[in-house]
């Protein structure tokens, strides 16, 4: 009976389908390594099991079969993983003593070094971009400050309705801005002056160009009574056009200067509109007068300096009909 069972088992195991059946002399742990090399769910697990079997079972009955498969599979896996850092990591984990482990670790080091260098380059590039964006934002802010200061003073002066009266009759906001906000306005005799120096930047060919504008606010008096107000500065309309157009004009040609004056005139006309609407107040102007509006007891004139020693100016005062008698 025993002989019949043994003979039947041997006949069954001779079939090809019985390759996974352990031999009578094979240790269970060795057989499990072999099984894992055949049916483990991932290629890495199969490679690891086959490599362990080849190292730990030198005379095993499955050695030749696994050796033939492992050599081809391992070489193919290494070739496929060469350009993939995740697969190289997977090889290192699965086969820490594998045939290509030295090459794998060298390749990992090379890719990590390259990525580190690229990351550092990207960091530095991001830092340069951020610094550039910050500088552009600061430049934009400086231009806005210059234009805003001009707008605010134009608005204040066009709202004056106390010509012919002491400066103490000006509205409180104008008095505060002129006398109590730095740089402080100073009066000497019949002239009160406040000097504003504003720096700003405009884009040049390859970098931002630092520019400067001088803005002088004047209150003109006679025997202590306010007669007129003025905003003036050297090439004020050119400097204002630079800030508006983002184009540096250090030495403008006659055409560029004319364009700058016209561009500034658009802004001045818009600022005069609430108090001196063009449809009602605009008069014909001839150089050096660029714009002239007069009505509602108020007159405003935009003047273009005709030489380097003449300032550009915006003059505000009572209209001829409303001017106080001498």
Q: Residue 76 has what pLDDT?
A: 95
The pLDDT score that the predictor gives to residue 131 is 79
Mean model confidence pLDDT for the chain: 88
Domain ranges of the chain: 22-111, 135-318
Tens of pLDDT, residue by residue over 13-45, are: 443 334 455 655 578 888 888 898 899 999 999
Scan for tokens 């960091």, then name that residue: 123
pLDDT for position 206:
77
Regarding beta strands 191-203 and 208-222, do their DSSP bridges make them parallel or antiparallel, or are they unpaired?
Answer: antiparallel
Query: Would you say 135 and 208 are in contact if contact means Cβ atoms under 8 Å apart?
Result: yes
Mean pLDDT of the region 252-276 = 95
DSSP 244-259: HHT---SS--HHHHHH
pLDDT score for 195: 96
What are the pLDDT digits (tens) for 63-116?
999 999 999 999 999 999 998 999 999 999 999 999 999 999 999 999 888 888
- Within 10 angstroms of residue 100's Cβ, the number of other Cβ atoms is 19
Question: Once rounded to an integer, what is the mean pLDDT over residues 241-270?
Answer: 93
**243-265 exposure pattern, b = at least 16 Cβ within 10 A, e = fewer:** bbeebbbeebeeeebebbbebbb
- Residues 191 and 220 sit within 8 Å (Cβ to Cβ): yes
Q: Give the pLDDT mean for 227-241.
A: 96
Specify the length of the chain in residues.
Answer: 326
CA distances from 150 to 63, 217, 236, 268 (A): 91, 10, 10, 10
The token pair at 38 is 């055949």
- Compute how many other C-beta atoms are within 10 angstroms of the C-beta atom of residue 180: 10
Structure tokens at 104: 């794998």
Predicted pLDDT at 24: 52
Return d(Cα 21, Cα 19) in angstroms, integer: 6
- Tens digit of each residue's pLDDT (9 = 90 or more) over 291-322: 999 999 999 999 999 887 899 999 999 997 55
Residues 148-166 have pLDDT tens digits of 999 999 999 999 999 999 9
CA angle 305, 308, 309 (to 5 degrees): 80
**What pLDDT does residue 9 have?**
40
């Amino acid at each position: 009976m025993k002989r019949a069972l043994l003979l039947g088992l041997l006949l069954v195991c001779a079939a090809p389908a019985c390759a996974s059946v352990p031999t009578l002399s094979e240790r269970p742990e060795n057989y499990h390594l072999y099984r894992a090399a055949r049916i483990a769910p991932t290629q890495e697990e199969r490679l690891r099991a086959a490599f362990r079997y080849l190292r730990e079972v030198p005379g095993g009955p499955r050695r030749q079969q696994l050796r033939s498969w492992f050599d081809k599979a391992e070489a193919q896996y290494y070739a496929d993983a060469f350009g993939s850092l995740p697969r190289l990591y997977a090889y290192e984990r699965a086969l820490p003593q594998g045939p290509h482990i030295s090459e794998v670790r060298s390749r990992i080091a090379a890719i990590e070094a390259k990525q580190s260098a690229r990351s550092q380059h990207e960091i530095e590039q991001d830092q340069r971009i951020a610094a550039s964006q910050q500088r552009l934002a600061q430049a934009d802010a400086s231009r806005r400050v210059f234009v805003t200061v001009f707008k605010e003073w134009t608005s204040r002066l066009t709202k004056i309705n106390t010509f012919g009266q002491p400066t103490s009759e000006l509205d409180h906001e104008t008095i505060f801005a002129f006398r109590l906000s730095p740089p402080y306005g100073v009066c000497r005799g019949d002239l009160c002056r406040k000097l504003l120096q504003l720096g700003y930047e405009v884009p040049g060919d390859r970098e931002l160009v630092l520019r400067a504008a001088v803005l002088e606010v004047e209150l003109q008096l006679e025997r202590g009574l306010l007669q007129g107000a003025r905003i003036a500065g050297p090439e004020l309309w050119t400097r204002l056009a630079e800030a508006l157009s983002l184009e540096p004009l250090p030495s403008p040609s006659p055409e560029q200067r004319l364009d700058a004056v016209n561009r500034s005139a658009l802004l001045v006309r818009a600022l005069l509109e609430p108090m001196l609407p063009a449809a009602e107040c605009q008069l014909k102007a001839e150089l050096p007068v660029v714009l002239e509006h007069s009505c509602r007891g108020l007159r405003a004139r935009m003047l273009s300096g005709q030489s380097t020693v003449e300032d550009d100016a915006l003059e505000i005062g009572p209209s001829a009909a409303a001017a106080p008698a001498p």
